[in-house]
Amino acid sequence: MTEIQDLEGYIILEGRTHGSYEYPDLNIAIHRLGTSPEVEQAARSLSLVVQNTAQEQFDNTPYIGNINWQKALKLNLALGGRTLNPRQGIDLLLDLQNGIDGRKIIYYGNGKPIAPAVLRNIYNEIVEVRNPWRGEWLDADFKVINGVIHINYDHQLQNGILVPQRKEPLEQYLDARGVNVSLKEFNRQGLATKRNDKGEIHYWKPLPDNNSVAWFVADSDGAGLDCGRFPSIRGSSLGVRRAATREKISEELQKSNLESLCTNLQNPKAGQEKKPEESDFSAIYNETLISLRNLEDKVRGSKKAYAQQEKELSEMRKEYESKKKENSERLAGVTLTLDTSSQKNIKRLLIADILLQAYNSSFFDGLFYNISSVVNEVINKF
């Protein structure tokens, strides 16, 4: 069972490597998980009853509350998704922060860039210090083994039981609760490593009680990552956010589209009532018409511009011929007063030019005349 949503309802979290831990590209839901037919069916398969009990502030999107840690993780897994672990949750906040400040472009699941204002709304919904109280579960619980706290995360569902895929002793972390920390100072397991009074969020370490889990929590007193909560806690504004690998989401969407197509083919009336395909083709047709009209306008404009250029060139040619004729007439009317030697030199040049033109036009084809002697011989006869 999977829940299918439009990819614009997801934000891409690029895969990262943190020391020995790495994860692939993820699509993370912009909103906390809310009810839908798919969610309700998945909940029934787990013998759960879910309902929307709260809504997000920036766009009033309702989401499921009153769900404890185990049920939240199981529901996401039954939907074919996963729940963010603390390291992924911190990376998400970092990406949102960088996108808000313009240091990085963050994308919807369909590849379109997300406006900084939208990123700000998502960030504020998770960790802005304000009322109402709200929170969301993360995929991590903590157990004490031989006196050492271990973290369990990246759970899978096996025979209805949550089974962690990674079990590790905690690496060096900040042994403090309710202090400010920087998002840039977390280890590969998603725990803070140092206190920073100018840090963006609060932090609470895990407790050695064999009964601690992680969540993001926020209210008017503070906001941040708490790794020392009881998994049985419930609240109307305590929900969970769905995540999934990008490949998984793509496969689910393709399957959903195929199932929708088969349903319409088997039930034509239902297809006529919704007419999703007709609507899609209509939109494509209208966009194509607009594109063709724009292209026709460009071609028409180009033809008009070309005709105008041709007209201008024609007028320039006419003006040139007119000027040439005018200059020729002026030259013809000029009376030159030259001595005999000068007149002879001018004649010699004119005749030489005529002979050269004749030679170049093959008038003397096959003959080899000394042009200079011919010119002098002709000139002498004048």
Whether residues 221 and 309 fall in one domain: no
Whether residues 234 and 344 fall in one domain: no
Tokens for 321?
A: 């011929």
Q: Which pTM does this prediction carry? A: 0.66
The answer to the question of residue 91 being in a domain is yes
Whether residues 250 and 203 fall in one domain: yes
Whether residues 168 and 256 fall in one domain: yes
- Of 241, 263, 285, which one is at a domain's C-terminal end? 263
For the segment 250-277, the average pLDDT, to the nearest whole number, is: 51
The identity of residue 2, as a single letter, is T
Whether residues 120 and 238 fall in one domain: yes
In this predicted structure, the answer to whether residue 369 has a pLDDT above a threshold of 50 is: no
For the segment 84-107, the average pLDDT, to the nearest whole number, is: 97
Tokens for 98?
A: 């960088």
Whether residues 255 and 285 fall in one domain: no
Closest-CA residue to 69 (of 140, 3, 1): 140
The answer to the question of residue 268 being in a domain is no
9-67: pLDDT as tens digits: 999 999 999 999 999 999 999 999 999 999 999 999 999 999 999 999 999 999 999 99
| φ, ψ of residue 159 in degrees (nearest 5) | 55, 40
Whether residues 259 and 283 fall in one domain: no
The answer to the question of residue 69 being in a domain is yes
The answer to the question of residue 270 being in a domain is no
For the segment 207-217, the average pLDDT, to the nearest whole number, is: 96
The answer to the question of residue 225 being in a domain is yes
Q: Between 317 and 183, whose confidence is greater? A: 183
Structurally, how many domains does the chain consist of? 3
The answer to the question of residue 269 being in a domain is no
**The pLDDT of residue 352:** 60
Q: Between 189 and 273, whose confidence is greater? A: 189
- Of 263, 284, 305, which one is at a domain's C-terminal end? 263
Beta carbons of 199 and 207 less than 8 angstroms apart: no
Whether residues 216 and 324 fall in one domain: no
In this predicted structure, the answer to whether residue 295 has a pLDDT above a threshold of 70 is: no
Instruction: Round to whole Å and give the CA distance between 174 and 206.
Output: 10
Domain that holds residue 345: 340-380
Mean pLDDT (the chain, rounded): 82
**The pLDDT of residue 215:** 98
For the segment 350-363, the average pLDDT, to the nearest whole number, is: 56
Rg of the chain, C-alpha, whole Å: 41
For the segment 246-261, the average pLDDT, to the nearest whole number, is: 55
Whether residues 197 and 308 fall in one domain: no
For the segment 243-250, the average pLDDT, to the nearest whole number, is: 75
**The pLDDT of residue 348:** 65
Whether residues 345 and 368 fall in one domain: yes
Whether residues 160 and 65 fall in one domain: yes
In this predicted structure, the answer to whether residue 270 has a pLDDT above a threshold of 80 is: no
Whether residues 157 and 95 fall in one domain: yes
